Every structure is written in structure tokens, then in C-alpha cells.
């Protein structure tokens, strides 16, 4: 969809970030005129291949664009050792061959890669790699290693794009971000009238494998990019709706056989939304996973119990963007056109086996702020409270873990 994502970034990181609390009326008027000019200039008329992939935001016809993002994190947990984590260095490459053909890939190095002081605790992998072929605005073919389009964050997951440091619990265990599967399908968009936009993504992909766990949810059930454990394939997709600029919501689903015998089934439904009004922003996701019960086994293959399900979870996150006038002449404001502070809060809850109450039923609260001198660089600071629902519901303080923590990070998109 032509320039739509670029417009969304301008609205979120330009309009919202440029809305100072103590701005003069003249500056507000000039800013309003600038935004209206941008809206007219970027008014979407055709689908731009590349979809919602962030590495596709800036590219020119016939060129290959290299970019990516980087983050370093600092964790200070209660009653435990503090530590730094060189979490991600991501390389993204995009080639727009012509107006119909587009290639994109994302190569991820986590925690220093494979070799790290002999510990081998890093990771090197292809996070996405696909070819797009546009037939019509509403029918664009995509094939390769694709991000499963359930929810928003699994697709728009880049560290510099997000305001918080850790991803929500929901998008860690229920939707196991980053969730990639090889496959093929179609995406596109429609404009029923001058205000509405409807978009979709639908794919047939490899499908999940045996690996469902209480606590880790679906994280270890993500499939290989090389082989499949059964003859079945997954069907998944998302339909998005935007009645006006600043509001969009979506409904996604996933269905797969996941056991080696191709008999046990798993189904998922996820709803998401994002609403922006001036300096305010509210977003969230929630979902439900139903599946046939599975046997849990230890490392020796001995059965230790049953996972009956279902799984569910959600998160709700609010942002307020500001930049006080008196800071404009300090090192925080001078030399930057639109610096911004963002205050944020998030509530997050997951249950990876609703048939029983245990320490894996968790609630997480996060409060913090970040500072962006430019839209693609964020210095983040937050405090995270982790609450075991079992301790609250049973009134037993021994069930409570002391795993609250302070977190700081820097994320850079390039």
C-alpha cells in the first residue's frame, strides 16, 4: 500500500513526537500545515509491495537498500546479578527490482552470534526472506520464509520501532515472536471509500511441531525452515481494517496439525488494535489457543504430565509523547528537529494451561519512559513487576517470586 506505512510513522513519530506540551501557537499552526501537506503528498492510491515490513520503508526503484537495527540492554533484577545483554544486531536487505517485483530479507545475530567466549549462547538465523510479485493492488503473491501475520508485533517487531525494551509476555509465549515459517500466499488492500482501508495477508506455511509447554507456550513449537514433522500444513492470516488515519485494528487466525502423526490439531485467534490521537497512543493484542491435549516429557522421554490447555493472553499498552519547550535549548533538544520523550505503561497477562493454576500463570506490569533524539534511536528506561497469579489467588506468599527488575536499553535503526 503506497506510502501508507511511511505516513503512519510520520503521524506517530512526527506528529505525536512533535507535539510539545508548552509549544507556542505559531509553532502549532506551522506543524499542522506541514502535516496536512504530508498527508496530501502521501495519500495512498496503490498498494506498495513490501507490505508492513520495516526494511521496506525506504527504498528506490532498481536499488538494493541495506539497513537493520541494533540494541544493547541492561538488566538489574532484584536479588540477582545485574548483567548487560548485547541482544540483537539485525541486517535487513531490500531490493525493489521494478514496480511489481520486490525481495526482502532479515538476518539476525542475537547475543553475539554462535561463538561467544566459548559459551555458544548466541544465535544466527534468517528471520525472513521472501519474494513479492504484484498482480494487482489487492493481490500480491509472497513466497519464502514469512512472518506469521497474527497480531501486530510479530510483523512490526523491530527494537527501534517499539517503545519498551522487552516484548510483552503475550508476544513471547502465546504468539512466539519472532515467528517465521516457510510458505507462500497472498496479501493486498482495498479502498471501499475515501476513508476506509481494508488489508489482508493469507498464507499456507510449514505448520507447528510437537513442543507445546506450560510456561513456554508455543515458543518451542515453531517449525524448522528445512523439514516438516508431518504431512499437514498450516493455514494462517490476518484481516486489517482502518476507518480513518490513526486507528486500525485486525483479526488474525492460525490452524495447524502439530504432532508427528498428523492427528492433533491447534487453532489460534488473535485480535489487535492501534489508536493514535495527537500525543496519545493506545495499542494492544489478545488471543486464545485451543489444541488437543499433549503429553509432557522430561529429557529422558519419561512422561511427566499432561498439557490440556487452552492458552490465552493479552497486553494493553499506552503511550504519551511530549517534549517540554524549556528543553529545546539543551543538549536534549538542540541539533534535533523533532526530539521526543515517551511515557508508557503496559499490563500483560498470560496463561499457558488454563486447566490448572501454577507459577506459569503470570501478570506483568511495566512503567517507564524513553527519549528519542531522532525517530530511529531510543534510550529506554523502565521498571517491570512480575506477578505470579497463584500467589494472589491462593494468598500464599511463598508462591511469589522476587523477579522484579529495572531495565535500560538503547535501540538504533539504521
Q: Average pLDDT of 15-23?
A: 37
Q: Average pLDDT of 23-51?
A: 49
Q: Which of 332, 409, 341 is nearest to 369 (CA)?
A: 341
Q: Average pLDDT of 346-356?
A: 95
Residue 17: pLDDT over 50: no
d(CA 85, CA 92): 21
Q: Mean pLDDT across the chain, nearest whole number?
A: 85
d(CA 83, CA 2): 43
At residue 91, what are phi and psi to the nearest 5 degrees?
-110, 125
Q: Residue 394: its pLDDT value, please?
A: 62
Residue 271: pLDDT over 90: yes
Q: Residue 118: its pLDDT value, please?
A: 63
Q: Residue 300: its pLDDT value, please?
A: 74
d(CA 326, CA 12): 22
Give me the sign of the Cα torsion angle 397, 400, 401, 407. negative
1 vs 58, which has greater pLDDT? 58
Pick the CATH number of 4-413 from 2.40.160.10, 3.30.70.270, 3.30.1950.10, 1.10.287.3510: 2.40.160.10
Q: Residue 400: its pLDDT value, please?
A: 61
Q: Residue 121: its pLDDT value, please?
A: 77
Q: Average pLDDT of 211-229?
A: 95
Residue 358: pLDDT over 90: no
For the stretch 67-80, pLDDT in tens is 899 999 999 999 89
3 vs 399, which has greater pLDDT? 399
Sequence-distant (≥ 6) Cβ neighbours of residue 115 within 8 angstroms? 122
Q: Average pLDDT of 174-196?
A: 94
Q: Residue 138: its pLDDT value, please?
A: 94
From start to end of 148-301, where are the E strands?
Answer: 180-190, 197-205, 234-244, 247-257, 265-277, 280-291, 294-297
Scan for cell 517487531, then name that residue. Answer: 157
Residue 96: pLDDT over 60: yes
For the stretch 330-340, pLDDT in tens is 999 999 999 99
Q: Residues in the chain, how many?
A: 414
Secondary element (H or E) of residue 37: helix 25-41
Q: Residue 112: its pLDDT value, please?
A: 83
Question: What is the residue extent of each domain of the chain?
Answer: 4-413
pLDDT tier, 262 (very low <50, low <70, confident <90, very high otherwise): very high
Q: Residue 402: its pLDDT value, please?
A: 62
Q: Residue 19: its pLDDT value, please?
A: 35
- Which range has the worst mean pLDDT, 40-54, 220-234, 239-253, 323-337? 40-54
- Judge residue 151's burial from the number of C-beta atoms within 10 Å of its C-beta, 0-12 exposed, 13-18 middle, 19 or more buried: buried
pLDDT tier, 272 (very low <50, low <70, confident <90, very high otherwise): very high
Q: Average pLDDT of 345-355?
A: 96
Residue 167: pLDDT over 60: yes
pLDDT tier, 119 (very low <50, low <70, confident <90, very high otherwise): low
Q: Average pLDDT of 300-308?
A: 82
Q: Residue 396: its pLDDT value, please?
A: 62
Residue 352: pLDDT over 60: yes
Q: Residue 113: its pLDDT value, please?
A: 78
Residue 10: pLDDT over 80: no
pLDDT tier, 403 (very low <50, low <70, confident <90, very high otherwise): confident
Amino acid at each position: 500500500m503506497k506510502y501508507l506505512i511511511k505516513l503512519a510513522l510520520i503521524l506517530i513519530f512526527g506528529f505525536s513526537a512533535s507535539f510539545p506540551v508548552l509549544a507556542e501557537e505559531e509553532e502549532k499552526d506551522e506543524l499542522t500545515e506541514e502535516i496536512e501537506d504530508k498527508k496530501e503528498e502521501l495519500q495512498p492510491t496503490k498498494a506498495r509491495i513490501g507490505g508492513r515490513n520495516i526494511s521496506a520503508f525506504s527504498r528506490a526503484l532498481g536499488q538494493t537498500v541495506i539497513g537493520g537495527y541494533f540494541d544493547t540492554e541492561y538488566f538489574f533484577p532484584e536479588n540477582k546479578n545485574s548483567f548487560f545483554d548485547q541482544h540483537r544486531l539485525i541486517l535487513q536487505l531490500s531490493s525493489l527490482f521494478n514496480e511489481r517485483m520486490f525481495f526482502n530479507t532479515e538476518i539476525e545475530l542475537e547475543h553475539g552470534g554462535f561463538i561467544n567466549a566459548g559459551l555458544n549462547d548466541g544465535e544466527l538465523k534468517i528471520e525472513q526472506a521472501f519474494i513479492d510479485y504484484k498482480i494487482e493492488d489487492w493481490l500480491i503473491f509472497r513466497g519464502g520464509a514469512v512472518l506469521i501475520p497474527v497480531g501486530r508485533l510479530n510483523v512490526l517487531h523491530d527494537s527501534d520501532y517499539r517503545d519498551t525494551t522487552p516484548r510483552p509476555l503475550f508476544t513471547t509465549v502465546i504468539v512466539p515472536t519472532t515467528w517465521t515459517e516457510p510458505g507462500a500466499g497472498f496479501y493486498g488492500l482495498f479502498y471501499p471509500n475515501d476513508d476506509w482501508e481494508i488489508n489482508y495477508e493469507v498464507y499456507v506455511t510449514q505448520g507447528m511441531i510437537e513442543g507445546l509447554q506450560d510456561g513456554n507456550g508455543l515458543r518451542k513449537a515453531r517449525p524448522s525452515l528445512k523439514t516438516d514433522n508431518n504431512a499437514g500444513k498450516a493455514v494462517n492470516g490476518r484481516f486489517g481494517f482502518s476507518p480513518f488515519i490513526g486507528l486500525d485494528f485486525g483479526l488474525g487466525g492460525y490452524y495447524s496439525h502439530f504432532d508427528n502423526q498428523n492427528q492433533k490439531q491447534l487453532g489460534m485467534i488473535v485480535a489487535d488494535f492501534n489508536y493514535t490521537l495527537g500525543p496519545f497512543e493506545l495499542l494492544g493484542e489478545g488471543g486464545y489457543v485451543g489444541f488437543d491435549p499433549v503429553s509432557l516429557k522430561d529429557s529422558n522421554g519419561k512422561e511427566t504430565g499432561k498439557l490440556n490447555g487452552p492458552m490465552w493472553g493479552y497486553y494493553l499498552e499506552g503511550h504519551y509523547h511530549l517534549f517540554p519547550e524549556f528543553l529545546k535549548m539543551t543538549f536534549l533538544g538542540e541539533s534535533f528537529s523533532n526530539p521526543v520523550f515517551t511515557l508508557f505503561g503496559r499490563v500483560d497477562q498470560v496463561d499457558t494451561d488454563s486447566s490448572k493454576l501454577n507459577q506459569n500463570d503470570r501478570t506483568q506490569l511495566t512503567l517507564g519512559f524513553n527519549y528519542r533524539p531522532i525517530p530511529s534511536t531510543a534510550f529506554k528506561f523502565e521498571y517491570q513487576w512480575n506477578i505470579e497469579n497463584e500467589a494472589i489467588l491462593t494468598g500464599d506468599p511463598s508462591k511469589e517470586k522476587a523477579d522484579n527488575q529495572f531495565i535500560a536499553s538503547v535501540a538504533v535503526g539504521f
